Structure 1
Amino acid sequence: MLGFVIKSEENRGKGGGRGYVWEVDMELDTVLDVREEIEADHHSA
């Protein structure tokens, strides 16, 4: 991946199976700023 998320496996107990937990590995403000820039670029194109 691009290095901004962390994936960890989680065991959900008997009958629950396994699943994944995804976490953002960056400051939330940084993620939101980049998202705004991407949206602005998309709308101006």
Structure 2
Amino acid sequence: MSYQVSEQLRLRADWDLLLNVGDEDETGEADINVFSVGPEFRF
């Protein structure tokens, strides 16, 4: 998802879901949610 602030600036938001990360016997296994928000500059 993104929102155009101006011709050169856009705000961006992302969500990634990573399933079954890790080894259950060694490090443990889990699902991971990654949320990120940031600017995108265009030149």
Give the TM-score category using the shorter length.
0.3 to 0.5
With the length of structure 2 as denominator, give the TM-score of the two structures.
0.33
Q: Which has the higher helix share?
A: 1
